[in-house]
Structure 1
Amino acid sequence: MDTAADTSPLIWILAGEASGDVLGARLMQAIRARVPGARFAGVGGQRMTEQGLRSLFPLRDLAVMGLVEVLPRLRQLSRRLDEAVADIAATRPDLVVTIDSPGFALRLLRRIKGLGIARVHYVAPQVWAWRQKRVREFPGLWDELLCLLPFEPAFFGRHGLAARFVGHPVLQSGADQGDAGRFYRTHNLPESARVLILMPGSRRSEVPRLLPVFGDMLAQLRTMLPDVLPVVPVSAVVAPVVEQATARWPVRPIIVTTLQDKHDAFAAAGAALTKSGTSTLELALAGVPMAVTYRVNPITAFFARRLIRVPHVAMVNLLAGREVVPELLQENCRADVLARAVCRLFEDGDYAAEQKRAFADVLHGLEGPDDSQPADAAADAILALLAERRSPA
Structure 2
Amino acid sequence: MAEPLRLFILSGEASGDIIGADLIRRLRTRTELELVGVGGQEMQGEGLRSLYPMENLSVMGWSDVLKRLPLLLWRVRQTAAAILRMRPDAVVLVDSQVFAKAVAERVRRVAPDLPMVLYVSPTVWAWKPERAAELRPIFNEVLAILPFEPRVMADLGGPPTSFVGHPALGRYTTRATQPERGPLLLLPGSRIGEVRRHLGLMRQAAESLRSHPRISGFVIPTLPSLMDRLKRETATWSVPVEIVTGPARRTAFETAYAAFAVSGTITLELALSGVPMVAAYVADPHQAKRAKKLPHPIVMSLPNLILGQPAVPELQFADPDAPRSIEPLVQLLDDSSAVAAQLAAFREMRTLMQKGAPEAPLVDPAERVLAVADQRLAIGS
Superposed CA deviations along residues 11-55 of structure 1, whole A, max 9, x for unmatched, are 0001011101000111001100111x2111100000001001000
Residue 208 of structure 2 corresponds to residue 220 of structure 1? yes
Residues 170 and 278 in structure 1, CA contact (< 8 A), matched pair in contact too:
no
Residue 244 of structure 2 corresponds to residue 247 of structure 1? no
2:314 to 324, 327, 331: 327
Superposed CA deviations along residues 94-124 of structure 1, whole A, max 9, x for unmatched, are 1110001111001111111131321111111
Q: Distance in 2 between matches of 1:227 and 1:362?
A: 26
Output aligned runs, 1:280-319, within 5 Å: 280-307=267-294, 311-319=298-306
Q: Distance in 2 between matches of 1:381 and 1:343?
A: 44
Q: Post-superposition shift, 1:311?
A: 5.0
Q: Distance in 1 between matches of 2:364 and 2:204?
A: 44
Q: Post-superposition shift, 1:225?
A: 4.1
Residues 283 and 318 in structure 2, CA contact (< 8 A), matched pair in contact too:
no
1:26 to 22, 25, 30: 22
Residues 168 and 367 in structure 1, CA contact (< 8 A), matched pair in contact too:
no
Residue 196 of structure 2 corresponds to residue 208 of structure 1? yes
Q: Distance in 2 between matches of 1:234 and 1:44?
A: 18
Q: Distance in 2 between matches of 1:384 and 1:125?
A: 22
Residue identity in the other structure for 1:137: E
**What's the counterpart of residue 186 of structure 1?**
none
Residues 179 and 263 in structure 1, CA contact (< 8 A), matched pair in contact too:
no
Q: Distance in 2 between matches of 1:314 and 1:119?
A: 28
**What's the counterpart of residue 330 of structure 2?**
343
Aligned with 1:222: secondary structure? coil
Q: Give the TM-score normalised by the residue count of structure 2.
A: 0.90
Residue identity in the other structure for 1:266: F
Superposed CA deviations along residues 289-341 of structure 1, whole A, max 9, x for unmatched, are 11111212234212234247665222212222221111112179989732x43
**What's the counterpart of residue 343 of structure 2?**
356
**What's the counterpart of residue 155 of structure 1?**
152
**Over aligned residue pairs, what C-alpha RMSD do you find?**
2.6
Residues 288 and 318 in structure 2, CA contact (< 8 A), matched pair in contact too:
no
Residue identity in the other structure for 1:64: V
Q: Post-superposition shift, 1:147?
A: 1.0
Aligned with 1:205: secondary structure? helix
Aligned with 2:126: secondary structure? coil
Residues 193 and 229 in structure 1, CA contact (< 8 A), matched pair in contact too:
no
Residues 179 and 264 in structure 1, CA contact (< 8 A), matched pair in contact too:
no
Superposed CA deviations along residues 175-201 of structure 1, whole A, max 9, x for unmatched, are 547999xxxxxxxxxx99721111100
Q: Post-superposition shift, 1:69?
A: 2.0
* Structure 2 unpaired stretches of 5+: none
Residues 110 and 141 in structure 1, CA contact (< 8 A), matched pair in contact too:
yes
Q: Post-superposition shift, 1:169?
A: 2.6
Output aligned runs, 1:261-276, within 5 Å: 261-276=248-263
Q: Distance in 2 between matches of 1:129 and 1:76?
A: 28
Output aligned runs, 1:67-216, within 5 Å: 67-113=62-108, 114-115=110-111, 116-160=113-157, 161-174=159-172, 176=174, 194-216=182-204
Residues 128 and 309 in structure 1, CA contact (< 8 A), matched pair in contact too:
no
Residue identity in the other structure for 2:285: P
Residue identity in the other structure for 1:209: R
Residue identity in the other structure for 1:32: R
Q: Post-superposition shift, 1:228?
A: 3.0
Q: Distance in 2 between matches of 1:332 and 1:108?
A: 32
Aligned with 1:164: secondary structure? strand
* Structure 1 unpaired stretches of 5+: 181-190
Q: Distance in 2 between matches of 1:164 and 1:26?
A: 17
Q: Post-superposition shift, 1:130?
A: 1.2
Aligned with 2:338: secondary structure? helix
1:387 to 366, 374, 377: 374
**What's the counterpart of residue 185 of structure 1?**
none
Residue identity in the other structure for 1:164: S
Residue 256 of structure 2 corresponds to residue 256 of structure 1? no
Q: Give the TM-score normalised by the residue count of structure 1.
A: 0.88
Number of aligned positions between the proteins: 373
Residue identity in the other structure for 2:84: A
Shift in CA distance, 265/308, structure 1 to aligned 2, threshold 3 Å: farther
Residues 275 and 292 in structure 1, CA contact (< 8 A), matched pair in contact too:
yes
Q: Distance in 1 between matches of 2:7 and 2:226?
A: 29
Residue 231 of structure 2 corresponds to residue 234 of structure 1? no
Residues 20 and 100 in structure 1, CA contact (< 8 A), matched pair in contact too:
yes
Q: Distance in 2 between matches of 1:70 and 1:145?
A: 24
Shift in CA distance, 175/265, structure 1 to aligned 2, threshold 3 Å: farther
Aligned with 1:145: secondary structure? strand
